[in-house]
Amino acid sequence: MTYFIGIDVGTSSSKAILFDQLGNEVASAQQSYSFSQPQPGYAEQNPDLWWNAVSKCLRELVHASSVQKEEILALGVTGQMHGLVMLDKDDQILRESIIWCDQRTIVEAEELDRLIGRDSLLAITGNPALTGFTASKILWVKKHEPDLWARCQKILLPKDYVVYKLTGRHATDVSDASGTQLLDLKTRDWSPSILTTLEISRDLLGTVFESGDIVGNISMEAAQLTHLSMLTQVIAGAGDQAAAAVGNGIIKPQLMSLNLGSSGVLFASTDQPLVDPKGRIHSLCHAVPNTWHVMAVTQGAGLSHKWFRDRFYGGESNKKFDLNQIMEQEAGSIPLGSEGLMFLPYLMGERSPHLDSFARGVFFGITPVHTRAHFARAVMEGVAFSFKDCLEVMEYLSIDAAEIRMSGGGANSPLWTAIITNCLKRPLRVMRDKEAGACGMAILAMVAAKAVPTIDDAMKLFVHPGEQVIGNPCDMDRYNRLFPLFQSLYQSLKGSFVQAHQLIVSD
């Protein structure tokens, strides 16, 4: 028997799952951590948090299973996208990584638009200038931390730092690299014109691979730390959403995935680059050669749930139920619509469809009748409405699907799944394997190791669509009538969001 590992470097935890050659999960491990917010709108993590978590997970996998380390043929790493990791000449970390949900680069994003030109940026990268993407973060460091920038010898993305620690090689993949705004979407390589304009040396950037290409083997140092064999091969990996799409079987048109993690993502595969002229959804390279994808992103999906749970349920002590179960039970006791309470889940700004880094979270309609349980349900409903906002853009661009497959941590909540189904007025197929990102990495690793001929062959072993959740017509109608109010709240408040930001900055 041979084995494969999928690793997912997330915002709140890292996970590693060991699969056998038949697609069965053999063992798993997870390590949690947090990110820091030194100022409002900032979000940072120390890259060694990821590596320490991953190396511990890998040791646990080896020890928890009876597998001989030489039987583990290959592994793949996926993870949060867009984070800026800077290394010096000795490959030491220069600063904490500015991660995907950081919103400090408003001015730099505008500068990027001016330097490249909005139309050119869309044509080359598939996306308008965005605060969450990597290029604007590089401009911010160049402007605000010039001494650090002068010492920078290598720029990596979060999962690429883990790949470097495993192999000693500076590499990235097309799906993750296309989220930097430095990659040419059509050529699937770094854009010479953008690098020249921004005065970024190509030598600073890792070699670009297709996601399933082998980067190298486990290094001696990594083998000692992780207890893996130096014979184990490491593929380039993929950005979290592309990896999850592979794990959900979304590699061809007519299928869509909904991933409910820290962010919320609607994802569809395309045969050619498809760019929204208004830039409301992202267009990126897929983890499968000669394919691309579009994705609509709501920034604060699972992040809003975690924030509310930790802030308002953190003091609970109940041996029978965990905090998620308590929150689910309370929210489930509240009528649809939360008796007039509504939530805008813009804790870290918003991408699709608003592209508004000033946007912030809002509870609307609070009355004396509302309890903690009402707020809990309103959070779930607000995220569901935000997904509907995203779906409308996809439909406007004629991106449709016969089936939507749901995964991510939020898919473990029957209540939240039902709310989203009713809001979208679409049935959802909840995947049996909720950790689709790690599963997607195991699929690509298996193909790279030549254990199966094609990705399609591997997916037959790994991809298991579960039960279909069908909505209630009455609930669908009620949410459909509430949705225009949700949309109007953002339109009414977007000017106030800017004013609030200006007041904070001026203090």
Residues with catalytic roles:
240
* Residue partners of 352: CB distance under 8 A and separation at least 6: 280, 281, 282, 296, 297, 298, 389, 390, 393
Asked if 137 and 84 count as a contact pair (C-beta separation under 8 A), the reply is yes
Q: 10 Å Cβ neighbour count for 462?
A: 24
* Residue partners of 254: CB distance under 8 A and separation at least 6: 401, 402, 403
Tokens 């459909």, located at residue: 480
* 400/394 Cα distance (integer angstroms): 7
The alpha-carbon radius of gyration of the chain (Å, integer) is 22
E strands of 240-351, at which residues? 255-260, 264-270, 282-285, 292-298, 342-344
Q: Is 22 exposed, middle or buried (0-12, 13-18, 19+ CB in 10 A)?
A: exposed
Q: How many residues does the chain have?
A: 507
Q: Is 365 exposed, middle or buried (0-12, 13-18, 19+ CB in 10 A)?
A: middle
* 488/304 Cα distance (integer angstroms): 20
Phi, psi of 163 (to 5 degrees): -60, -40
DSSP state letters, 442-463: HHHHHHHTTSSSSHHHHHHHH-
* 302/407 Cα distance (integer angstroms): 12
DSSP state letters, 152-187: --EEE-HHHHHHHHHHS--EEEHHHHTTTT-EETTT
Phi, psi of 382 (to 5 degrees): -60, -40
E strands of 232-383, at which residues? 233-235, 238-239, 255-260, 264-270, 282-285, 292-298, 342-344, 362-364
Give the C-alpha distances (Å, rounded to integers) separating 300 from 104, 171, 351, 377, 474: 16, 29, 10, 15, 28
Q: Strand, helix or coil at 10?
A: coil
Between helix 240-247 and helix 455-462 the angle, nearest 10°, is: 70
Give the closest residue to 437 by CA, choosing from 249, 245, 255. Answer: 245
Dmax (CA) for the chain in angstroms is 64
